[in-house]
Amino acid sequence: MKKFLIYAFLLSSVISYSQGSLVLVGGGGESNGGWSDAPYTWALDQSQNRKVAVIYYSSSTSWIPEYFMDLGASDTAKFDIDNLTLANSQATYDSLMNYDVFFIKGGDQWDYYNTWKNTKVEDAITDKFNQGGVIMGTSAGMAILSEVVFTAENGTVYPDEALTDPYNWIDIALNDDFLGIFQGYIFDTHFVERGRFARLLVFMANWYQNWGTQRKDGIGVDDRTVLCIDTNNIGEVMGSAAVTIIENNVWFNSHISKDTKYTQLLNGHKYNFDSKQIVNGSTNIILEPTPPLNPILYNNYTNTLLVSGSDSLEHMDKFLCELDSAHGQIQDDIYIYTTKPNRADLLANKINQLNNPNTFIVDISNGNNLPSIDFSAPNKILFYENDWDILKDFLNNATNGNILKNKLKDGITITAFAGQDSKFIGTTFCSNLHNDVYASYYGNLEFEKGLNLIQKSIFMPNTFDKYTSSYYENTTSAIPWAMVTDTLAHGFYLSYDSYLVIQQSANKKSVYQREGRIILLTNEGTTAEKVSSYVYSSQNFLRQIVGFDNFRIKCQNFISWPVVEWGSVTNPSAINEHNTPKGKLLNITNILGEQTIEKRNTPLFYKYENGKVEKKIIID
């Protein structure tokens, strides 16, 4: 009987304390009465004695311990463990184990890794978790809790640096020999505000390529947002923004990410980490691209199109060389259409330095007073440094603008967009990205309809650039926001050193990445919703963050493969064009944009009900 009772007691202990709870905080200052109250109270409620140990690798203030007391903690203590002797003390271990909630502050994960690895502090954290305790980490304190940790041994890595050299194993310092609290994952924090989804994709690919025998999934948590994972491995999101879960689909050298499932969860959403299924997710908006993604209309535009991701002339050399020499005739005249001729003059000088002297700057602010041949003659046209309102008005309301608009869709003219003009080619674009670094945070991003040359899409030039990193929350959040609110199919993130070439062949349109790396976000049909939780209870704004159950994300290394294709009948993973009937003929225009009747031996443009424009010459 005694043996049975002892066995039963031990079995009960194992069942009760097989795993503790995790509270993963993406960073941001805690707020008494704000975003942090609910998840930090949740942590107290999961513990047995409601005692909190606040742990740091350096000296710290008493604010966090006092905050926990305000939330109902029974006791708190501050442990500033800043050296190996203190970290490896049995007394430190014994003191820590009196508390059921461990809160690991932010800072620098290398200081944690370097000071606490293989010490009694590491033992205390893992033992407490395995005994059913609650482990909390914010910012760097969260980053050290995953199985694979970015240790930051050689300093931080920014998204543009990670994308430039994704398999660098020195600067991208990853290791799996520290705490390893949450197996199978790599964590990252301050996710949207620092544009770190690109960095996390690289971490996942880098680990598998250089060190791993198994793929690791990724979890990214936004600032002022928390993922609370209970003892049943069910995670619930609390806070003002999103938790991102990326299921790894690395293909060694060919792709950093290949059609990988990309999920964003908002406040109140739940996820089962055992089954990798959403328990309670977005339901408010059903996203089915119209027309559906497969098939989809992309036959409206057949010109060869070059799209630069760079705002800086120093990164445009290969883009400009390809425009000059790889398409059409070498040293063809290149007409630069702009509303800022002084800026365009710098671009023209760059083209001249690259051995094409035949550049012409056309100021469309004065477009009505220029000869029509400036708009009808060019075989290659380049848009750069344009004020959108002036460009839009010119294309829609001026005679010469109509000529230029027809050139954009004549199926012949080599067309290029550079700098921030690149965002105009999609269905929708964000018009005030760089007006205010907090525009997305305060819900003030504004969107307009673009030229819709590539339908159901949004393009983000210069997404990752260390000189504009203050705007990362704007550039990162704008694409999924537009995809949800406008039911778009594709979002293209272009880095500062990249460009795209989009070409039409007989049966397909192909999008190729050149230089740098492009990240493609795809909506294949999902449910979604907008954020509805405030940072502070007293505020009157919501962040421009969306949740969605299933987008796909892709980032490849090779430039010889298309990033995406539309209309291929030979590629089973491609997206087929939808050849809808043209419908009735609406009008016929000449090269001046003037309506006319059908004439022989004259180039004319036929516009049909479905929006398609055909260029025809009827020969006698």
What's the whole-number mean pLDDT along residues 167-186? 95
Average pLDDT, the chain: 88
Instruction: Identify residue 204 by its one-letter amino acid code.
Output: M
- The closest alpha carbon to 366, from 408, 401, 334, 418, belongs to 401
Q: Are strands 51-56 and 101-104 parallel, antiparallel or unpaired?
A: parallel
Q: Which of 8-12, 264-268, 309-313, 538-542 has the lowest mean pLDDT?
A: 8-12
> CB–CB of 335/381 below 8 Å?
yes
Strand partners, 380: 334, 414
As a whole-number percent, the residues of the chain with pLDDT over 70 amount to 88
- What pLDDT is stored for residue 401 in this prediction? 96
CA atoms of 361 and 355, how far apart (whole Å): 17
- pLDDT of residue 342 exceeding 90: yes
> The whole model's pTM is what?
0.86
> b or e along 339-352 (b: 16 or more beta carbons within 10 Å of the residue's beta carbon)?
bbbebbeebbebbe
| SS3 state at 202 | helix
CA atoms of 107 and 139, how far apart (whole Å): 7
Contacts for 542 with CB less than 8 Å, ≥ 6 apart: 443, 530, 531, 532, 533, 534
Region label for 276, one of left (φ > 0), alpha (ψ between -120 and 50) or beta (otherwise)? left
Strand partners, 458: 491
Q: Which domains does the chain have, with CATH numbers?
A: 18-281 (3.40.50.880), 585-616 (no CATH)
As a whole-number percent, the residues of the chain with pLDDT over 90 amount to 71
What's the whole-number mean pLDDT along residues 340-357? 94
- The closest alpha carbon to 22, from 173, 237, 176, 201, belongs to 237
- The closest alpha carbon to 291, from 489, 529, 479, belongs to 489
- pLDDT of residue 55 exceeding 70: yes
- pLDDT of residue 110 exceeding 90: yes
> CB–CB of 218/200 below 8 Å?
yes
- What pLDDT is stored for residue 570 in this prediction? 38
Q: What is the 3-state secondary structure (H, E, C) of 94-124?
A: HHHCCCCEEEECCCCHHHHHHHHCCCHHHHH
Does 461 sit behind a cis peptide bond, omega within 30 degrees of 0 on the bond before it? no
